[in-house]
Structure 1
Amino acid sequence: MKFGKFIKRAVVDVVVARNSHQATAEKDEEEFEKLSAVLFLNPEYAKKMGFKEGDVVEVESGGRAVRLKVMYSDTAPDEGAMMPNSIYSNYLSGDNLKMFKATISSSNLRPTSVKEILERFI
């Protein structure tokens, strides 16, 4: 743990980007996770909340949680987040596949793998 680094936490609306920022299953697993295990934040909002590009955050919604890397995007909501349409967003979104409310907090762990999500259903 880094000294001076406070635990950051925010409750936001997460928009699922159905037609943009998508990775395809044709990619190898590592490349797919690199492109899909991300949470897009508006740069100004991210800085205000204390999240830097490349930080790993835990995103929790409806009792389910995954860890994702923060990426900056000017197309993300001003005070919310955006995720690509992927196994990560589908796992978190519940019944509403377009938008959901989630809690974002900093994490010192690596991003969640697809295998980890699939194992939760076995």
Structure 2
Amino acid sequence: MLVELVKVAKFPWSPWLAQIRTPFGGTAVRWCGDRATKPGKYHVEWTVDEDIAWGRNAKPAVGVGPGVRPGGHCVVLRGRLSLTVDGAAMLDFDGNQILLDLADPLPEGVASTWVELFIEREKIALYPYEL
């Protein structure tokens, strides 16, 4: 996914964070690239390092379409949820797939719906790559 990197910063209580913007929102998340990266547009892969538990950190979305925004101590990702054949889940995030680990099986009828994930900003990572 192409994002606009605004800045990379480190605070005493957090890992390196990237302030990013997308066409559908912006937020700050853990940055796993060069800490001296200059502002600009970068292709990134998103990862979520937190188990997804329906009703706790995953809920039906308010609205449709991809979205990313700050949510207090969390980052809120909105995308379409799907299940893999081996019991994991994927979040389609503007055409990019984010693999998710499930704490418990999802309720009936949740697959293929728009959901919002509420994930601690340190547990979402961006890995920049070059095409």
TM-score (norm 1): 0.26
TM-score (norm 2): 0.24
Larger radius of gyration: 2
Which one has the bigger helix percentage?
1
Q: RCO greater where, 1 or 2, for CA within 8 Å and sep 6 or more?
A: 1
